[in-house]
Chains A and B, each alone.
Chain A
Amino acid sequence: GAVVSQHPSWVICKSGTSVKIECRSLDFQATTMFWYRQFPKQSLMLMATSNEGSKATYEQGVEKDKFLINHASLTLSTLTVTSAHPEDSSFYICSARYRTPWSPLHFGNGTRLTVT
């Protein structure tokens, strides 16, 4: 089946630094990728929708300048947490689908970010 690779699986960084998380579709062209955040024992919260070659659409309340999303190719989207703070510590996960809406979603394994 389709594989989505997310890297790194975990990262620890200091307050004020930036962290980049990569999401790659390994065997299909991901025209749309989604970025989610998940707090402990809670469900996934959609942060933004990323379409290849265009600007990401952010959900209400998500700071565009803090969570930079780039989807420059059909196989790669990146999420950069800029000037990270301890409250940004969370589990971030991406998903990807090919072209048509309502086509099956494939998820990455997530990235656990800890900001000290």
Chain B
Amino acid sequence: KNEVEQSPQNLTAQEGEFITINCSYSVGISALHWLQQHPGGGIVSLFMLSSGKKKHGRLIATINIQEKHSSLHITASHPRDSAVYICAVYPPISNFGNEKLTFGTGTRLTIIP
């Protein structure tokens, strides 16, 4: 079982729909990244969060440390949101010197016009 699980693996939706991508992890973490990988391969860091909620434009990320769960929401989805979304976690701060990200397997999102 992966330490970081994402669901769904694939998601196809109509333009304008509200999108939710989930990430659950089984290890202790200090922070969590949500990344967006475009079809060309480039990766953009969307959010880095360790508690609560962050919002940027149409994107919202939430994290519940107790439940070891994070969600990425996209409101009013658009075809240009089509990409692979990856969540990745940092180990606890006590692991200083070994601060490597553990990646989820990604969620492939396709938004149909």
**Is the C-beta of B86 less than 8 angstroms from some C-beta in chain A?**
yes
Contact of A43 (CB < 8 Å), options: B30, B45, B100, B106: B106
Q: Which segment of B15-23, B34-42, B60-68, B75-83 sits at the interface?
A: B34-42
Nearest to A10 among chain B residues (CB) is B41
In angstroms, Cα B35 to Cα A95, docked, is 12
1/0 contact string of A91-116 vs chain B (CB within 8 Å): 10101000001101111111010000
**A43-B105, A46-B100 are contacts. A102–B42 as well, Cβ < 8 Å?**
no
**Is the C-beta of A42 less than 8 angstroms from some C-beta in chain B?**
yes
**Is the C-beta of A44 less than 8 angstroms from some C-beta in chain B?**
yes
Q: How far is the CB of A17 from chain B (nearest CB, A)?
A: 22
In angstroms, Cα B105 to Cα A99, docked, is 27
In angstroms, Cα B103 to Cα A104, docked, is 15
Q: Which residues of A contact B105 (CB under 8 A)?
A: 42-43
**A43-B86, A43-B105 are contacts. A102–B99 as well, Cβ < 8 Å?**
yes
In angstroms, Cα B97 to Cα A34, docked, is 14
Cβ-defined contact, A105 with B33, below 8 A:
yes
**A93-B41, A107-B35, A109-B40 are contacts. A102–B103 as well, Cβ < 8 Å?**
no
Cβ-defined contact, B44 with A107, below 8 A:
yes
Cβ-defined contact, B43 with A93, below 8 A:
yes
**Is the C-beta of A50 less than 8 angstroms from some C-beta in chain B?**
no
Nearest to B47 among chain A residues (CB) is A104
Q: Which residues of A contact B101 (CB under 8 A)?
A: 34, 46, 105
In angstroms, Cα B35 to Cα A104, docked, is 11
Chain A residues close to B by CB (< 8 Å): 34, 38, 42-44, 46, 49, 91, 93, 95, 101-102, 104-110, 112
